Amino acid sequence: MCDNSFRLSLLALVIAATLAAVPAASATTITDNLFFGGAQVGVLTLTQGGTCNGMSISSTSVCVDIQMTSGGTVRLAGPVIGFSGNINVNGTTMISNVSVGSLSIGNACGGIGNQTICLDATGDTTTSSLFFVLTNADTSTGITTGNVHVAGTFCGSNPTCFASTTPTTAAVPEPGTLGLLGTGLVGLVSLARRRFLT
């Protein structure tokens, strides 16, 4: 009995020491894949505080990092991206430290959806990697990302299109689900047949 008590105490001490040795996180990160149709075309990362493109940012700011894949680019023309959710905290959200071109808060969300804040650009610049900072924003209770204005062969016959954080193709049921559905239907038919015959 005493031996077990000693082992439990020792285990508790080891767990406490391990947790104490783990450094406290200085940033909260949310990562979303960007899709056009069913294909992933990029990754969008939101990081609260910490660093953004090698530069320190405040704990009340969010770093937005868009990395395109599949040969695609972000199009810095017209509506670029929008955000809703925990944005515009304690005042006006501002955009700073844009890595390529410039962004401004606009009124027309265009193809990016009905968002609280729409970021617009003028010109026709494209980039495979885009960083910028949103001040007065908080990821802790969620920021919803609107569509991202992109360009690439995946857009089909259009020169540009709008990528979203969710794939837009219909989900295909897995074989197990179809089997379960079939079994349920057979059971319902049997029940109906029995009631009909009696």
CATH number at 69 reads 2.60.40
User: Which stretch of 1-10, 71-80, 122-131, 180-189 has the lowest confidence by average pLDDT?
Assistant: 1-10
The answer to the question of residue 33 being in a domain is yes
When divided into structural domains, the chain yields a total of 1
State what percent of residues in the chain have pLDDT above 70: 69
Whether residue 44 is predicted with pLDDT greater than 90 in this model: the reply is: yes
The answer to the question of residue 195 being in a domain is no
For residue 143, the enclosing domain spans 28-163
Give the DSSP letter string of 60-124. TEEEEEEEE-TT-EEEEEEEEEEEEESBSTTS---EE--SSS--EEES--GGG-S-SEEEEEEEE
The answer to the question of residue 151 being in a domain is yes
pLDDT band at 70 (very low <50, low <70, confident <90, very high): confident
Token pair listed for 17: 């020491």
Return the pLDDT at 93: 86
Distance of CA 181 to the CA centre of its chain: 32
Whether residue 198 is predicted with pLDDT greater than 90 in this model: the reply is: no
Average pLDDT, rounded, for the chain: 79
Return the pLDDT at 141: 77
* pTM higher than the cut 0.85: no
Return the pLDDT at 158: 93
CA distance 189 to 181: 12
Whether residue 21 is predicted with pLDDT greater than 60 in this model: the reply is: no
